Amino acid sequence: MAAHDAWALICRLFAGGTPVLRVTLSPRETVALAILGKAVKPTMMDQSFVLCPHCQQHRAQVWGDGRGGRMCRCPDCGPVAVEVNDGAALALDEEWLRTKMRLALDIESRDGIDDLGGGVWRLGDARRSPVLLARDLTRVLHEPALLDRVRVAGRDIRVITPRPSTTRGSPFGAGIEWLVLEERFMLYGGAISFIATSPSATPAVADPATPVNGPFSADFKWATLPDVQATPIQFTDGQSKVLGALWSFKGETATAERIMQRAGLDSAKPSDLFKIKTKDKGKPEPAAQHAAYGALVVTQQRAGLYAMPCAAAGQEVAMT
C-alpha cells in the first residue's frame, strides 16, 4: 500500500509542478515518504506572502502582530490572522522522474531528453515511437504543433500525462496512445515499472461510463445526467453500491436499513454517502455526486423511505 501511496504522491507532485508544504501531507502520504528516497527533495517555501485565508483571493504580505502571532493585510478583508508554518516543503526531483520513466519504457539512453517547454518533455523513443511526458493533458490537446514536432512517419506517439479531472476515454485520435501516469506506471523497488497490459490501451474497448442501467453504467460507477453535468459523473465505490442497491428496488420505496443492507455498507442512510465533506467544499466531483443523488433519489424524510423512480422506468424499457 505504501508503494501505491508513494506513486500517487509522485504523480500529484508532478501534476502540480510546485513544492508542497510538509504540513499539508496526509498521514498516508507522510508514511509513503519513507520509501520515496531520492524522488523527492526537501525545500523551503517562502512564507513572507500568503493567500488571504479569509477570501483566498489576494496574496498579502505577512507581518508579526507584536504578540507572537502573524497576520496579513488583505486589500479586501483588512488584517487577517494567518497560521504560518515553518515553510518546510517537498519538491519532486523531476530529473529523477524522467530518467526512471525512460528506464520503465526501455528508452535507449543515447538520445537525450528534450525539454519542449511548458511542462512537456520528449523522453525519447521507445521501440522507435516517440514518447512525450506532459504535466497537463490540456496543454498537449491545445497545442497540436507539439505532436507535429516529434512525429515520426509511420509511428505512433505515446503521450503520458497525469489523469485530468474531466477527460475520459481517449482524447486523441488514431496514431496517438495516451498513457495515464497514475494508472499505467507504478513504483516498484525504487524504480518505475510500466504496466503494459491494460484494457484502456485498446482503443476498441467500450467506454466504462456508457449508460446501461438507465442513466448508470453497468457497475453504477458512472451516471450520465446532462442536467447535472455535461460529462458523465463518476461515483466512489460506496456511492455506486448505494446507487446499485436503490436501483434493485425497481422504483419501489424501501427503508434506509434495507437499502444499506443490500449495499453492504455500515452507514445509516443512503444520503450519508453523498454528503459533501467540509474539506471537499468547492470541489467539482463531490458537488456533482451530491447533485446526482438529489436528482435521482426521492426521499420521504419523516418515514425514512427512499426510492429511485428512474429504476422503474428502466425495468419497463428492459422488458420491451
Min separation Cβ 123 and Zn ion, Å: 42
Cell numbers of 105, please? 519504457
Distance separating alpha carbons of residues 6 and 1, to the nearest angstrom:
9
Cell numbers of 272, please? 450519508
Min separation Cβ 80 and Zn ion, Å: 6
Select the residue interacting with Zn ion from 3, 35, 77, 295 (CB under 5 A). Answer: 77
- Which range touches Zn ion (CB under 5 A), out of 55-63, 110-118, 142-150, 250-258? 55-63
Are the CB atoms for 290 and 236 separated by under 8 Å?
A: no
Burial, 319: exposed, middle or buried (Cβ in 10 Å; 0-12, 13-18, 19+)?
exposed
Residue 15: C-alpha distances to residues 92, 136, 164, 173, 215 (Å): 10, 7, 9, 23, 32
49 or 188: CB nearest Zn ion: 49
76 or 207: CB nearest Zn ion: 76
- Which range touches Zn ion (CB under 5 A), out of 49-57, 112-120, 225-233, 260-268? 49-57
37 or 75: CB nearest Zn ion: 75
Select the residue interacting with Zn ion from 10, 40, 74, 209 (CB under 5 A). Answer: 74
Min separation Cβ 60 and Zn ion, Å: 7
74 or 307: CB nearest Zn ion: 74
Number of residues that bind Zn ion (CB under 5 A): 6
Cell numbers of 192, please? 518505475
Select the residue interacting with Zn ion from 17, 26, 42, 55 (CB under 5 A). Answer: 55
- Which range touches Zn ion (CB under 5 A), out of 53-61, 195-203, 237-245, 304-312? 53-61
Min separation Cβ 119 and Zn ion, Å: 30
H or E stretch covering 122: strand 120-126
H or E stretch covering 158: strand 157-161
55 or 195: CB nearest Zn ion: 55
Cell numbers of 275, please? 454528503
Q: What angle do CA 35, 40, 42 make, to 5 degrees?
A: 115
Q: Enumerate binding residues for Zn ion (CB under 5 A).
A: 52, 54-55, 74, 76-77
